[in-house]
Amino acid sequence: MNRESESRRRGVVREFLLALQFFTRIPVTGRLADWVGFSPAMLRASAAHFPGVGWVVGGCTALVFAALVGVLPALPAAPWVAAVMSTVFSVLLTGAFHEDGLADLADGLGGSPNRERALDIMKDSRVGTYGALALVLAIVSKTALLALLAQAGGWPLAAVGLFAAHVTSRLMPLFIIRTLTHVGDTAASKSKPLAESISGAGMLTGLAWWALAMLIAGVVQPGMGWMAAVLGAVVGCVWMWRLLNRRLQGFTGDGLGATQQVCEVAFYLGLVMSLSA
- Residues 189 and 235 sit within 8 Å (Cβ to Cβ): no
43-83 pLDDT per residue, tens: 888 899 999 999 999 999 999 999 999 999 989 999 999 99
Range 159-163 average pLDDT: 97
The pLDDT score that the predictor gives to residue 30 is: 86
Alpha helices in 112-154 (DSSP H): 115-123, 129-153
Would the pLDDT of 14 be above 60?
yes
The pLDDT score that the predictor gives to residue 149 is: 96
Would the pLDDT of 151 be above 90?
yes
What is the rounded average pLDDT for all residues in the chain? 91
**Residue 258 CA neighbour count, 13 Å, CB half:** 26
The pLDDT score that the predictor gives to residue 50 is: 95
199-239 pLDDT per residue, tens: 899 999 999 999 999 999 999 999 889 999 999 999 999 99
**Residue 134 CA neighbour count, 13 Å, CB half:** 24
Counting every residue, how long is the chain? 277
28-44 pLDDT per residue, tens: 888 888 888 877 888 88
User: 65-69, 133-137, 187-191, 267-271: which range is least confident on average?
Assistant: 187-191
pTM attached to this predicted model: 0.93
- Residues 51 and 209 sit within 8 Å (Cβ to Cβ): yes
User: What's 47's DSSP letter?
Assistant: G
113-133 pLDDT per residue, tens: 999 999 999 998 889 999 999
Max CA separation in the chain (angstroms): 59
Which band of pLDDT confidence, cut at 50, 70 and 90, is reported for residue 187? low
Would the pLDDT of 8 be above 80?
no
Alpha helices in 95-128 (DSSP H): 97-111, 115-123
The pLDDT score that the predictor gives to residue 189 is: 54
Provide φ and ψ at 182, rounded to 5°: -70, 130
Instruction: Measure the CA dihedral 166/171/177/179, to 10°.
Output: -140
Number of H helices, E strands in the chain: 13, 0
The pLDDT score that the predictor gives to residue 262 is: 98
The pLDDT score that the predictor gives to residue 242 is: 97
CA dihedral (251, 103, 236, 78) positive or negative:
positive
N-terminal to C-terminal alpha carbon distance within the chain: 52
The pLDDT score that the predictor gives to residue 252 is: 94
Would the pLDDT of 190 be above 90?
no
User: 23-32, 101-110, 167-176, 193-202: which range is least confident on average?
Assistant: 193-202
SS3 state of residue 189: coil
With a pLDDT cut of 70, the percent of the chain lying above it is 92
Distance (Å, whole) CA 25 – CA 2: 34
Distance (Å, whole) CA 177 – CA 12: 20
Range 157-169 average pLDDT: 97
Distance (Å, whole) CA 167 – CA 207: 10
With a pLDDT cut of 90, the percent of the chain lying above it is 77
The pLDDT score that the predictor gives to residue 184 is: 67
| Closest-CA residue to 253 (of 141, 113, 119, 90) | 119
The pLDDT score that the predictor gives to residue 275 is: 92
User: What's 112's DSSP letter?
Assistant: -
The pLDDT score that the predictor gives to residue 195 is: 60
CA dihedral (189, 96, 46, 158) positive or negative:
negative
| Closest-CA residue to 77 (of 156, 158, 144, 162) | 144
SS3 state of residue 143: helix
**Residue 87 CA neighbour count, 13 Å, CB half:** 24
Would the pLDDT of 109 be above 80?
yes
